[in-house]
A and B are shown apart, each in its own frame.
Chain A
Amino acid sequence: MNKNFIILGGGQAAVYAAREIRKNDKESNIKILSEENFLPYERPPLSKDFLLNKKNQEDLFFHSSDVLKNENIDFENISINKVDFENKKLFTKNDDFYSYDSLLISTGSENKKLSLDNNLNDDIYYLRNLEEAKTIKEKVSNKNKITIIGGGFIGLEIASSLSQLQKKVTVIEIGSQLMGRIIPKQIADLVQKTHIQYGNEIILNKQINKIIKKNGIYEILLNDNSLIETDFLIAGIGSAPSVKLFEHTNLKLDNGIVTNEFCETSIKDVYAAGDVSNFYHPLYERTIRLESYQHAQNHGICAGKNIAGVKTEYTSIPWMWSDQFNLNLQLTGICDDYDEIIERGNDINNGVIYFFLKNKNIRGACGLGIAGKVGRDIRITSKLTEKNIIVDKQILADQNQKLNKLIQK
């Protein structure tokens, strides 16, 4: 009998899962339910080339509607309001329902919101989806001074793009360095230096006490009593997995939906993939939640295989990038659990990489360089990590020694 496979959330993990199910199962019904009225699209350009007008909306879609039609994958623009895991049903706000045999949850993540005590919540803009990117692009077109609250990846990418659009950008970060503690301080400082060189103002260690709106202009009062005037406010203060729908169900949640190495959740026939899942990684022997392009794709594919009955363990080594100005930052593996750090290079023109080792094994690495300069070594690091290859530390530390040889048979 044909099964009903439903994928809740229509982003990157969803579409890769759907196509992978179809690859392995030609008969069953596959339906993607998405609250966004767009076919699945790439989010990384939203803060970069889309804001910079180098990419249009049409450039962002993973696949055309023809590809999905040809593979007999339904895509429906609908928001799900309630889930009944016991009876395997998903409900819309009108109480229409969809029944499933297997369900994949790939609802992604959502931006944390600033809570201000006055009525300015509608004056603060966030970036997560295409609609929001379009709004920001349109609104900033006649603004000059832009303030970005939060110095994380997305905030800094927006800061880089708006600076390239000749805006006067200020970034306010509550922490003592950019991009959070997961990034080596030296790399955060190099990124900060680049922003400053391009004219952006970076304010660290400061909290916002109050924002006052006067004649369409905002005054931001910081906790050291300094004042910043700005024409437009964007916040990027972190994100959280989109799990509200499941909070009062018996689905196990802990920093997202807890899944095992087969993308299975605590409920039979319910799977989760992408940003929303906190998945068990057999190599690191712990759970990890990632917000990364490569992970959303690979995890979606792995979930698709398992849903279609091809039991497959997820062992992909985490990897993500951020592009700001002419810099490319990359992270692989995990960089928060180590007993030794090794530095390779000290100049962004040739790339700088920090390797994180534990018991002599590489666990992860973080690199920064002019576009293209750290990718190969970071990729090789992923492979060395995956294979648990112990490497001579002197080779890692010496940029004159190519790392290629270490992974060649």
Chain B
Amino acid sequence: MSEENWIEVGSTDSIEEEDLIRFDHQDKTFCVYRLTDGFYATDGICTHEAVHLEDGLVMDDEIECPMHQGIFNIKSGEALSPPACEDLKTYPVKVDNDKIFIKID
């Protein structure tokens, strides 16, 4: 795959541990997370009712939606708790020179 698909999100210290930031690129919104074992990325909008997950709570490997407490696994995107039932899309992340990149297809 071509290099262009890796999009720079920001520096690694822009996200606190067990937290996330929202990242908008073109007309899409993503969430980029810093967990204890590294950085991860998912779509930024809940699959249940289109609310921004940037306002959600990160706990261990999970992101909980701020609207109705639907829960997703951050690493796999799997919907773990209703009312969320559709999985969340995930994206590969790499860190290069203290900068975070995500690969958008």
B92 proximal to A (CB < 8 A): no
B64 proximal to A (CB < 8 A): yes
Contact yes or no, A373 B66, CB < 8 A: yes
> Which B residues lie at the A interface, using CB under 8 A?
18-19, 49, 51-52, 55-58, 64-69, 82-83
Give the contact-size bracket for chain A: 20 to 34
The contact of A376 among B18, B56, B83, by CB within 8 Å, is B56
Q: Separation in Å of the B54 CB from the closest CB of chain A?
A: 8
Contact yes or no, A321 B68, CB < 8 A: yes
A242-297 contacts to B (CB < 8 Å): 293-294, 297
Instruction: Bits for A375-389, please: 1 = Cβ < 8 Å to B, else 0.
Output: 110011000000000
A360-409 contacts to B (CB < 8 Å): 371-376, 379-380, 404, 408
Given contacts A379-B57, A380-B57, A404-B57, contact A372 B19 (CB under 8 A): no
Contact yes or no, B67 A372, CB < 8 A: yes
Given contacts A297-B82, A379-B64, A379-B69, contact A373 B57 (CB under 8 A): no
Given contacts A321-B67, A379-B69, A404-B57, contact A372 B82 (CB under 8 A): no
Q: Which residue of B lies closest to A16 (CB)?
A: B82
A294-350 contacts to B (CB < 8 Å): 294, 297, 319, 321, 323, 328
Q: Separation in Å of the B83 CB from the closest CB of chain A?
A: 7
Q: Which residue of A lies closest to B18 (CB)?
A: A408
Chain B residues with Cβ under 8 A from A294's Cβ? Answer: 69
Expressed in whole angstroms, the Cα–Cα distance for A150 and B56 within the complex equals 33
Can you sample 17 A-B contacts with CB below 8 Å? A44-B68, A44-B83, A49-B49, A293-B83, A319-B69, A328-B66, A371-B51, A372-B52, A374-B66, A375-B57, A375-B65, A376-B57, A376-B66, A379-B64, A404-B18, A404-B58, A408-B18
A62 proximal to B (CB < 8 A): yes
Chain B residues with Cβ under 8 A from A293's Cβ? Answer: 68, 83
Chain B residues with Cβ under 8 A from A42's Cβ? Answer: 82-83
Q: Separation in Å of the A55 CB from the closest CB of chain B?
A: 9
Chain A residues with Cβ under 8 A from B65's Cβ? Answer: 372, 375
Interface SS of chain A: mixed
Interface SS of chain B: loop
Given contacts A373-B55, A376-B57, A404-B19, contact A62 B68 (CB under 8 A): no
The contact of A375 among B18, B19, B66, B82, by CB within 8 Å, is B66
Contact yes or no, A375 B67, CB < 8 A: yes
Q: Separation in Å of the A345 CB from the closest CB of chain B?
A: 13
Chain A residues with Cβ under 8 A from B51's Cβ? Answer: 328, 371-372
Q: Which residue of A lies closest to B54 (CB)?
A: A372
Chain A residues with Cβ under 8 A from B58's Cβ? Answer: 404
Q: Separation in Å of the B12 CB from the closest CB of chain A?
A: 18
Expressed in whole angstroms, the Cα–Cα distance for A375 and B49 within the complex equals 14
Chain B residues with Cβ under 8 A from A297's Cβ? Answer: 82
Expressed in whole angstroms, the Cα–Cα distance for A372 and B67 within the complex equals 5
Expressed in whole angstroms, the Cα–Cα distance for A373 and B54 within the complex equals 10
Chain A residues with Cβ under 8 A from B56's Cβ? Answer: 372, 375-376
Most buried by B among A294, A323, A371: A371
Expressed in whole angstroms, the Cα–Cα distance for A371 and B48 within the complex equals 13
Q: Separation in Å of the B22 CB from the closest CB of chain A?
A: 11
Chain B residues with Cβ under 8 A from A372's Cβ? Answer: 51-52, 55-56, 65-67
Given contacts A321-B67, A404-B18, contact A375 B83 (CB under 8 A): no
Chain B residues with Cβ under 8 A from A374's Cβ? Answer: 66
Q: Which residue of A lies closest to B81 (CB)?
A: A297
Chain A residues with Cβ under 8 A from B55's Cβ? Answer: 372-373, 375-376
Expressed in whole angstroms, the Cα–Cα distance for A372 and B51 within the complex equals 6
Expressed in whole angstroms, the Cα–Cα distance for A294 and B71 within the complex equals 12
Q: Which residue of A lies closest to B46 (CB)?
A: A372
Sample of 13 more A-B contacts, CB < 8 Å, known A319-B69, A372-B56, A379-B69:
A294-B69, A328-B66, A371-B51, A372-B51, A372-B52, A372-B55, A375-B64, A375-B66, A376-B55, A376-B57, A379-B64, A379-B66, A404-B58
Chain B residues with Cβ under 8 A from A49's Cβ? Answer: 49
Chain A residues with Cβ under 8 A from B83's Cβ? Answer: 42, 44, 293
